[in-house]
Amino acid sequence: MKKKLSRKEFHFLTETLEENVDRGLLKETQKKDILTYYEPSQGLDFIRVLVTIGSILIGLGILLIIVSNWSAIPALGQLSVLFFFLALSMSISFILKASRPITSQAFLYLATLIFGASLFLINLGFNFNIQTNTLFFVWALGALVLSSLQKDLLLFLAAHVLALLFVFNSFDEFIFVQLFALIVSFFGGNYYFNYRKVVSFATLGLMTFFVVYTLNYFDVPPPIISLSVFTIGLLLAHVPHDLNRDTFRLVGFINMGVAGFSLSFPNLWQELAFIDRGQFVSVPFTLAFVVYSFALVSKRQVVPLITISALIMRFYFDSFFDFLPRAAFFIVGGLLILGLGYWIERLRKASEEHA
């Protein structure tokens, strides 16, 4: 199949090949051979544009009729409409897979949205009284099913987001069975997607939230939860292995950054019964953490630098907000942000050059 180029690109390619024929770098037959693999796209066809706009308008009209009469449609009718549109978008995605892969993907995403909307509308229409967190869980499973259909990476990542919403809506609920199903699916998905970095990043991030949920469920005090996340971050960043090392390190630094930031607050430590004055722990911890972060910055790591900047801003706000006149506070604060931004950018460029 010939690759389609825009008219401008095709013209540029033809001209470049002709120039190289003139220079003697290519033969006329070679130029023709290369050009057989490309063809100019048709560009804007007036009739096609009209047909597309017309079909969109008809679609919108049908959608409007359905939406405005939704409550009047009997429950079984609502079900039929939702199933019909789900089947339609999946079928169109399947039919266009070979000829128009991008449009096919778009219809697959539409199917995922229709599936999610169906869950909420059916729950409402039949009044099943299913809680929102369960709906997000089922939606995540649906997104996993649809992502496996065309091995779609974006849908697999969307399933992570939906799983995250499920966990956020389920604090203090017993969801370990569902969590087990999700963990198995996501680790299987990592294998299915050949351990791509972005997939590993999403899965590791989600697993951190699973840990936070679990500790919270068993009423573990918040400082211990933060310390656990911090420890997980340390392990992710420093345990040597060969699988997506950079991604593990990045998630580790983010975990440590967020947990370390929260542990810089004395009030958090005071939630432990044996600690009366939180600052006796928070200050040494923060100092040690900043020294450790500087050691990482010296190895051209950007995330620890962002953490240090956030800590500087947090102490600046806490210490000077009441003490300085407002104008001076904002000017100095602004200068501090500019300075830290410049510092982060310089380190980012340096680490890129180093890489």
Partner 1 sequence: MLKLWKHPLGKLGISFVALLILIGSLALPALTVRTLGDPVIFEAEGFASNRNIDGSLIQYQLAIETVPLDNIDPEIIAIYEAQQAAFDGFGPLFRLEGVTLYLHISRHPDHTVSSTFLSLSPPADGHYLKVHSHILNYDYRSSVETPPLIGIDLDFNLPPFNSSLNFVNEGDLSFDRQPILVHARLYRGRIQVIDITRP
Residues forming contacts to partner 1 in the complex (CB under 8 A) are: 71-72, 74-75, 83, 86-87, 90-91, 94, 115, 118-119, 122-131, 135, 138, 141-142, 145-146, 148-149, 172-173
CB 145 within 8 A of CB 158: no
Nearer to partner 1, 73 or 164 (CB): 73
Q: Tell me how far CA of residue 140 lies from CA of 123, 183, 194, in angstroms.
A: 16, 12, 20
Cβ 135 to partner 1 shortest distance, Å: 8
Tokens of 252: 């580790």
CB 160 within 8 A of CB 113: no
Cβ 14 to partner 1 shortest distance, Å: 38
- Identify which of 242, 160, 246 has the alpha carbon closest to the alpha carbon of residue 207: 160
Cβ 115 to partner 1 shortest distance, Å: 6
Cα dihedral across residues 159, 160, 165, 169: positive or negative: positive
Nearer to partner 1, 138 or 303 (CB): 138
- Identify which of 298, 309, 295, 301 has the alpha carbon closest to the alpha carbon of residue 352: 301
Cα–Cα distance, 87 to 76 (Å, whole number): 16
Nearer to partner 1, 142 or 260 (CB): 142
Tokens of 341: 């931004």
Residues with Cβ within 8 Å of 216's Cβ and at least 6 positions away in sequence, in order, are 171, 172, 225
Nearer to partner 1, 20 or 133 (CB): 133
Cβ 243 to partner 1 shortest distance, Å: 27
Nearer to partner 1, 115 or 248 (CB): 115
The residue to which tokens 């299987």 are assigned: 188
Cβ 97 to partner 1 shortest distance, Å: 8
CB 214 within 8 A of CB 175: no
Cβ 250 to partner 1 shortest distance, Å: 33
Nearer to partner 1, 14 or 169 (CB): 169
CB 38 within 8 A of CB 13: yes
Nearer to partner 1, 138 or 297 (CB): 138
Cα dihedral: 290, 292, 296, 297 (round 10):
30
Cα–Cα distance, 282 to 168 (Å, whole number): 27
Residues with Cβ within 8 Å of 170's Cβ and at least 6 positions away in sequence, in order, are 133, 213
Q: Tell me which DSSP letter residue 322 carries.
A: T
Nearer to partner 1, 125 or 189 (CB): 125
Cβ 138 to partner 1 shortest distance, Å: 5
Cβ 119 to partner 1 shortest distance, Å: 7
Grouping H, G, I as helix, E, B as strand and the rest as coil, residue 38 is strand
Cβ 134 to partner 1 shortest distance, Å: 8
Where residue 151 falls (left for φ over 0; alpha for ψ -120 to 50; beta otherwise) is left
Nearer to partner 1, 86 or 232 (CB): 86
